[in-house]
Amino acid sequence: MSASIERAAEVSESLAEIKARVQALTTGPHTPTLIAVSKYKPASDILTCYEDGQLDFGENYVQELIEKAEALPAKIRWHFIGTLQSNKAKTLAAIPNLHTIQTLTSAKTAKALDKALSAERTTPLNILIQINTSGEDAKSGLPPFASSAKDAISPEVLEVAKTVLMECPRLHLQGLMTIGSLEQSLDASETQENIDFETLKQTRDLLHQSLATELDGSKWGDDGRLLISMGMSSDFEAALKAGSDIVRVGTGIFGQRAKKTTT
């Protein structure tokens, strides 16, 4: 399974560079989590990163995640970051070292996950609710706060969050995630805010306020602090500056996906 010496050195160097860039922007008391997005990448690349101390990896496709989880060390923390369908809940829940699902968008799927998780699992499955901050039809996710009432959280987000907290004891509501608009990332400058990032932060704050009002005493996030996952290879530094707790970097670590050749 080992990568070639040249490939291992390339991946290790890229990972070290990304880690250093994340560390350089870590100023507060909370250390951001770097997720190495390994979709389409061979298990040997993941193993190289793991041997360099990287534990958190993100996958977009259920079957690919299953195969890699079976082949790679059990200490890896897998994050599912692809489109989540309720009929895949049972399959995902069977992965013993599945650490987080970052793309929950329905109460139905939350209940299916909770039901499917093994009673032998010692820790809850972390859940992030996906928010479509850009409003793009091609993106999954629930709408953020209602545009007509800036002080009100989206009812869909609140419903899913309350379902996780009140009806799913094997799940832990960790926070919110967004993919955001590539155009926003490219257009944002050092002095210009990324609207998608700001929208996710506002939605996080409004959700926290609503939950604290309606469910006093419930536990969510990291010591009551809802986390936000935003920022990828092209904009993770801007996301960290905006306050992201989790960044998802694939190309920056593993390089571009190899193009398929035709004969």
Tens-place pLDDT, residues 158-169: 999 999 999 999
pTM: 0.92
pLDDT in tens, 221-248: 998 999 999 999 999 999 999 999 999 9
Helices 107-116 and 155-167: crossing angle in degrees, nearest 10, is 20
pLDDT in tens, 36-51: 999 999 999 999 999 9
Residue 1 pLDDT grade (very low, low, confident, very high; cuts 50, 70, 90)? confident
**Alpha carbon of 113 to those of 75, 93, 101, 237: distances in Å?**
21, 6, 10, 33
Query: 45 φ, ψ to 5°?
Result: -65, -45
Q: Tell me if 204 sits within 8 A of 176, measured CB to CB.
A: yes
- What's the one-letter identity of residue 210? S
Residue 191 pLDDT grade (very low, low, confident, very high; cuts 50, 70, 90)? low
pLDDT of residue 146: 58
Average pLDDT, rounded, for the chain = 91
The continuous run of DSSP H or E covering 198 comes out as helix 195-214
For tokens 């972390």, what's the residue?
126
Instruction: Please give the Cα distance from 158 to 57 (Å, whole number).
Output: 28
Q: Looking at residues 53-57, what average pLDDT do you find?
A: 98
pLDDT of residue 262: 42
Q: Tell me if 171 sits within 8 A of 110, measured CB to CB.
A: yes
Residue 189's Cβ-side half-sphere holds a number of Cα atoms within 13 Å equal to: 2
State yes or no: pLDDT of 8 exceeds 50: yes
DSSP 8-class letter at 139 = S
